């Protein structure tokens, strides 16, 4: 990574555990990580290894038992509007239209209607949903709902966007299309993205760096720097396949 790159987010010795049936269960163990401004960072780990727990901690939705999160050098405690999340479960409001879902954040924050509509429309257009402003979530395909989730997160204008397995529920073809979409949006509107996946190919296709987590509890096993792998990437390129195999050989479980 370029030495001049600015660290925007820092995780220091993050640990999380829960008491389940009177037994302590560790979900995240001593995760330390620096995230650079505007990078596309992928967190790759097997199912149930603690990825969502880690994202919830970064988003301030739960408090770790140990360690701290720093944004722009200041400790983050509780949720912070500079950190946005595209949830694994999407969490769109089914009774609200696309526009109402996307403008919900600024509406709650008290942004005047005209201003929030303008911002929401910009991101609805950017994700390719122009013309669907008045549609309801049940009228949309899986990929379109994901686009709504992405537009909603961008409309809150976060510095850091957390995407927790956003394409896990999609069929393979829609998933490829959405991976390209998310890269196109990221190139156009540079933000720091932390993207969670359990799919190695998706990780190598998207990431500037990949943080490989070990299986439960989540620990940083290895960090791969992919900045020399040119974009747009080709999944059949020999270098792509070499990196993919290298990561695959280093994982705890079949990913
Ligand atoms: N509030 C909680 N109380 C008890 N256990 C919890 C709690 N939240 C998470 N866990 C446990 O922590 C572990 C990690 O969960 P997490 O949801 O982070 O996994 P994940 O890596 O996101 O999995 P997936 O790939 O399926 O989304 C799981 O075993 C889960 O049951
Ligand atoms: Mg999860």
- Per residue in 182-203, pLDDT (tens digit) is 999 999 989 999 999 999 999 9
pTM (predicted TM-score):
0.94
Cα-only R_g, the chain: 18
Residue 14 near residue 67 (C-beta atoms within 8 A): yes
CA 108 to ligand 2 centroid distance, Å: 27
Q: Is the CB of 162 under 6 A from ligand 1?
A: no
H/E run at residue 28: strand 23-36
Residue 198 beta carbon below 6 angstroms from any ligand 1 atom: yes
CA distances from 85 to 69, 217, 229 (A): 16, 22, 27
Does ligand 1 have an atom closer than 6 angstroms to the CB of 47? Answer: yes
Alpha carbon of residue 77 to chain centroid:
19
Q: Which of 50, 56, 53, 66 is nearest to 216 (CA)?
A: 50
Instruction: Give the whole-angstrom CA distance, residue 80 versus residue 83.
Output: 6
Pocket test for ligand 1, best of 26, 43, 53 (most atoms within 8 A of CB): 53
| Closest Cα to atom 12 of ligand 1 | 27
Q: Is 49 in the pocket of ligand 1 (CB under 6 A)?
A: yes
The residue nearest atom 29 of ligand 1, judged by CA position, is 48
Tokens of 78: 């509780």
Is ligand 1 within 6 A of the CB of residue 131?
A: no
Cβ of 146 closer than 6 Å to ligand 1, yes or no, is no
Helices 172-188 and 142-155 pack at an angle, to 10 degrees, of 20
Residue 83 preceded by cis peptide, ω within 30? no
50 close to 216: Cβ distance less than 8 angstroms: yes
Distance 167 CA to ligand 2 centre (A): 12
Strand order across the beta sheet in which 209-213 lies:
83-86, 160-164, 192-197, 40-44, 209-213, 220-225
Low-confidence ranges of the chain (pLDDT < 70): 1-4, 88-89, 253-255
Question: Residue 66: what pLDDT?
Answer: 97
CA dihedral for 67, 73, 76, 79, sign (positive or negative)? negative
Q: Is the CB of 50 under 6 A from ligand 1?
A: yes
Residue 54 CA to ligand 2 centre (angstroms): 9
Q: Which residues partner with 149 through β-bridges?
A: none
| pLDDT confidence of residue 216 | 85
User: Residue 18 CA: which ligand 1 atom is closest?
Assistant: 4
In this prediction, residue 253 carries a pLDDT of 64
134 in ligand 1 pocket by Cβ < 6 Å? no
Q: What percent of the chain has pLDDT over 90?
A: 75
- Nearest ligand 1 atom, CA 50: 18
């Amino acid at each position: 990574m370029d030495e001049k790159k600015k660290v925007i987010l820092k995780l220091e010795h993050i640990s999380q555990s829960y008491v389940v049936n009177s037994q302590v269960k560790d979900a995240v163990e001593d995760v330390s990580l620096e995230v650079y401004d505007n990078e596309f960072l992928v967190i790759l780990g097997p199912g149930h290894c603690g990825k969502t727990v880690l994202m919830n901690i970064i988003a301030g939705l739960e408090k770790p038992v140990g360690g701290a999160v720093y944004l722009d050098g200041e400790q983050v405690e509780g949720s912070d509007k500079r950190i946005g999340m595209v949830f694994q479960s999407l969490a769109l409001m089914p009774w609200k239209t696309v526009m109402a879902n996307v403008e919900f954040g600024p509406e709650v924050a008290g942004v005047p209607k005209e201003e929030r509509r303008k911002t929401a429309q910009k991101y609805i257009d950017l994700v390719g949903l122009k013309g669907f402003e008045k549609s309801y979530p049940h009228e949309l395909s899986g990929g379109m709902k994901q686009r709504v989730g992405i537009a909603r997160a961008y409309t809150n204008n976060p510095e850091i966007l957390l995407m927790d397995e956003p394409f896990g529920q999609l069929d393979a073809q829609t998933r490829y299309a959405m991976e390209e979409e998310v890269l196109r949006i990221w190139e156009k509107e540079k933000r720091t993205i932390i993207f969670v996946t359990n799919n190695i190919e998706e990780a190598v296709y998207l990431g500037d760096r990949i943080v490989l987590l070990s299986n439960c509890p989540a620990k940083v096993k290895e960090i791969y720097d992919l900045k020399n792998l040119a974009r747009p990437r080709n999944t059949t390129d020999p270098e792509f396949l070499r990196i993919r195999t290298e990561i695959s050989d280093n994982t705890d479980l079949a990913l």
